Structure 1
Amino acid sequence: MAHVSLSKGGSGAFTPLTMILVLVIGVAALAGLGILSAYAPELKSGDDGGTHALSRSSVGYAALPRLLRATGTPVVLNRGSLGNGSSDSFLILTPSVGTPPVLIEDMRHEGSVMVVLPKWNYTPLPDHRGWVSTVGVVSADQALSVLPQEMRYGTTLSDLPGRQPVSLRRAADALLTDQAVVIDTHRRIVGSQWMPVIVDADGGTVLATHRETGLYVLADADVLNTQGLKSLAGARTALALLDALRPHGTPVVFDLTLHGFQRTRNLGRLLLEPPFVGMTVVLVALILFAGWQATVRYGPARQNGRVVALGKRALADNTAALVRMAGREHHMGPPYALLVRAAVARAIGAPRDLAGDDLDAFLDRVGVIAGATRPYTALAESARAARTPGDLIRVARDLHRWTQEMTRARQ
């Protein structure tokens, strides 16, 4: 029969170093997951094919911010509420079909605002993330549904089907550029509430401003989206259109909150940003120190005793503590000497009628016979002269030795 021997030096499945590495990696992974979860909305690439400034699809507007930055125009991709210093900026809203009009009504911006009406129906391409395929233009009612109700009365959109070059110019003014833009299904806005700002060669209004609110509305999204900027003429036309609406040097702000890319406040962000990041650092340090303490502690944890102890020892300890607090320790010497004298007198059978000096003299005589080192009267005088805890300890030691000598306890 074969015998299998096991080595005495065998170890467990994991070494301490392996366990430490696993623990460190786990903690780092958990911390990274928490940080990524806190900043998840801002870490989204946004390239989902939608009609916003992060989308690089044909109906998106990602090309326009890049073009503006390349020409030296300051650009802001806004994910939150606009601050008080945004009054000198030009805000562009690119809502999609189904965006509630109330979101545009609630947009607080003291500067100029332009709404680009949605134009195309589209479906995402499954083989290419961020790509879309257009499936016809949206109806006029769907495109205008993103505007507030009062702005839609008497307003409609007219379409020129087919691909054709479109030359844009300011109302009653010169052309924006010397090149025409090829647009598929050119769209214009019609309504008595709107004043023309940018028109085509036929006088149709492409960009209008509301007579009461001053809101700009661009009827044809292909003037600014990626599909329109694919040619040099389209890029020049887009830049000229924006230059006609905003003062020189004014920042252009693209809103992203209408598409769900807003910066939200949550507990994770509060703990990782000033002023609460200091508290987070302190908490992490305390956790690390607590873990280190639990790792290097020697022996079992000490159990806590009762707050109020029981028994004679507890009573004696409490009495001693009270005496110490009252500052009366040095007065305990003479009474202790008398207690020791009474105990020794009973132990050696001293006459019961003796007391005071007579008993002291009797004990001194017995001490001489017993061979005591010091007489009791000398010990009692030392007890009366004690003033410090050290003096009391010496008196107690001498009285204990005298007790042993008188009672022969050491034998």
Structure 2
Amino acid sequence: MSGGGSPFSPRAVLALLVLGAAAFLAVLFLIGTGADAPDEKDGGGHAAGNGLNGYAAFSELLGRRGYQVSAIRNAARLDDPSLLILTPPPYADADELNRVIERHRNLGPVILILPKWFALPVGARPNLKSKKGWVVLFGATSPAWGDKIGRDKLMRLRLDQPQGKQKPPPVGWSGLGFAGKLPDPSAVQWVDSSEFEPLVRTAEHKDLVSFWDDGGYYPRLSAAAGVDPYDRDEASDKWPLVVIAEPDLVNNYGLADKDRALLALSIVEASLEGAHMPVAFDLTFNGLGQNDNLLTLAFRPPFLAATLCFLIAALVVAWRAFRRFGPPAGAGGPRMGRRQLAAGGVDEAAAMATFAFGKRELATNGAALIQRAKRLHLLGAPYAALVRNRIAQALGLRPGADIALTEGAIDALLERRGLQPNFASQAEALRQARGPHELLRRAHALREIERNLSR
């Protein structure tokens, strides 16, 4: 390799920078998108579940109908104003569930969908072909926390499971202007409570969907249930709690039917009570919660402005680093290789002499820094003191003596040797100098005096 040539071409340096930046951005992307997040297609009964017991179809249906739909993976977002749809599993914590419901009812309505089915991933049965997340339903049970919602024994759950080998007859339902049949009559879950007003019932008056009539002002829900609403001035200011006891009305299993899909939309519309707000499906109770990482927070207010400033600064630094990468250019311009030097008739040793190595390089860089910082005018006094101390040491004068006495002694010595006694005047002129040319001229004058005395 030539001593005067660059070991890297601009293309190689650019390729290294691009590849490094791409790898860094890929790492940031994986961090921001949650590459280590739990698998959402786990066969669970939640808004990301694509099995029979999941609610992915419900979420997609609302999105296609113009609702702003999101999935909550961070518990802090449970306090955002929205229609909150909770799909807790059978093993959820009743106390925590009640806290979330009561807190959110100050911000927006809550729809609580109760679980019912036991589900087994189809992948566990090798004789069946399926997609990831599909399940097989093999039994039903009511959640243990069902009777603890609101207060103990407020919402009494019932689960009808006909016994016998014969297939049970279809179970019909009606409400909110629609009617139809449940997809599976083998297990029907309903609420048996006088404090809940029915919205959807079976022919036997079993409440499949109802809302808690707790003294709030819910005109649309009351009209759908056929009851008079409370006086607005005397009613509480809480949003409604709607309970869907029979999940087959709104889960993926149920939304295969048009009437049940229209019913699901009507339940959401009635729960909103005419308000316009987003719809949020909770995933935290289903074990799919995640905390916001630092990268996500960096691109949200109020940190977004600082992040943009940092990115702009990083781009400027990267561009300057790229432009300055490689060996330094000599005084005569960019470095040249042996062939270029020979072709130009330039001696290689002479070209290498343009580089400052060791102490000289350190002094050159220091001088460049001082000049760039516009502090050149501060060098006069230190340089005058440096020359004065060197001469005093050479003459055997006491170090640290008074400046005027020392400079007077130097002038006296100059006069005895027949030289012009101008050290004190030149030193003072150097201390007062401001421009670079005057500084150099006065410094050279002191240096010349030092040389004359050393002869």
Do Structure 1 and Structure 2 share a fold, with TM-score over 0.5? yes
The answer to whether the Cα contact below 8 Å between 1:155 and 1:189 also exists between their aligned partners in 2 is yes
Tell me the equivalent position of 1:114.
111
Letter in 2 for 1:208: S
User: Could you say which structure has the larger radius of gyration?
Assistant: 1
Q: Greater CA deviation, 253-262 or 127-136? A: 253-262
Tell me the equivalent position of 2:260.
234
Match of 1:66 among 57, 60, 64: 60
Tell me the equivalent position of 1:40.
34
SS at 1:114 equivalent: strand
Letter in 2 for 1:25: L
The answer to whether the Cα contact below 8 Å between 2:50 and 2:56 also exists between their aligned partners in 1 is yes
Letter in 2 for 1:28: A
Tell me the equivalent position of 1:144.
146
Tell me the equivalent position of 1:348.
none
Tell me the equivalent position of 2:173.
168
Match of 2:207 among 205, 211, 217: 205
The answer to whether the Cα contact below 8 Å between 2:8 and 2:326 also exists between their aligned partners in 1 is no
Change (3 A) 1:225 1:384: closer
Q: CA deviation at 1:208?
A: 2.9
* Aligned counterparts of 2:87 and 2:443: Cα–Cα separation in 1: 93
Please give the TM-score of this superposition, normalised by the length of structure 2.
Answer: 0.59
Tell me the equivalent position of 1:258.
285
Change (3 A) 1:167 1:242: farther
Q: Greater CA deviation, 45-54 or 147-156? A: 147-156
Tell me the equivalent position of 1:135.
138
* Aligned counterparts of 2:281 and 2:139: Cα–Cα separation in 1: 25
Tell me the equivalent position of 2:294.
267
SS at 1:106 equivalent: helix
Q: CA deviation at 1:167?
A: 3.4
Whether 1:224 aligns to 2:236 is no
Letter in 2 for 1:114: I
The answer to whether the Cα contact below 8 Å between 2:47 and 2:54 also exists between their aligned partners in 1 is yes
SS at 2:420 equivalent: helix
* Aligned counterparts of 2:78 and 2:143: Cα–Cα separation in 1: 33
Change (3 A) 1:338 1:93: same
Tell me the equivalent position of 1:30.
24
What is the CA deviation profile of residues 32-83 of structure 1, one whole-angstrom value per residue up to 9, with x for unaligned ones?
Answer: 1133213317988833332122222211111113223333444343444458
* Aligned counterparts of 2:47 and 2:446: Cα–Cα separation in 1: 94
* Aligned counterparts of 2:35 and 2:313: Cα–Cα separation in 1: 26
* Aligned counterparts of 1:277 and 1:49: Cα–Cα separation in 2: 39
* Aligned counterparts of 1:240 and 1:392: Cα–Cα separation in 2: 92
Tell me the equivalent position of 1:347.
none
Tell me the equivalent position of 2:314.
284
Tell me the equivalent position of 1:77.
71
Q: CA deviation at 1:261?
A: 4.2
What is the CA deviation profile of residues 190-230 of structure 1, one whole-angstrom value per residue up to 9, with x for unaligned ones?
Answer: 24554434321111111233454853222110000010011
Change (3 A) 1:57 1:264: same
* Aligned counterparts of 1:57 and 1:301: Cα–Cα separation in 2: 73
Q: CA deviation at 1:384?
A: 8.5
* Aligned counterparts of 1:179 and 1:280: Cα–Cα separation in 2: 59
Change (3 A) 1:396 1:236: closer
Whether 1:296 aligns to 2:296 is no
The answer to whether the Cα contact below 8 Å between 2:92 and 2:145 also exists between their aligned partners in 1 is no
Q: CA deviation at 1:315?
A: 12
Match of 1:102 among 63, 71, 95: 95
* Aligned counterparts of 2:157 and 2:170: Cα–Cα separation in 1: 22
Q: What stretches of structure 1 of length at least 5 have no aligned partner?
A: 1-7, 306-313, 345-375
Q: Greater CA deviation, 212-221 or 39-48? A: 39-48
SS at 1:183 equivalent: coil
Q: Greater CA deviation, 176-185 or 280-289? A: 280-289
Please give the TM-score of this superposition, normalised by the length of structure 1.
Answer: 0.64
Q: Greater CA deviation, 37-46 or 274-283? A: 37-46
- Provide the alpha-carbon RMSD of the alignment: 4.7
Tell me the equivalent position of 2:343.
none
Change (3 A) 1:24 1:69: closer
Match of 1:246 among 263, 272, 277: 272
* Aligned counterparts of 2:197 and 2:48: Cα–Cα separation in 1: 31
Tell me the equivalent position of 2:189.
187
Match of 1:340 among 414, 434, 440: 414
Q: CA deviation at 1:187?
A: 1.9
Q: CA deviation at 1:283?
A: 6.5
Q: CA deviation at 1:277?
A: 1.0
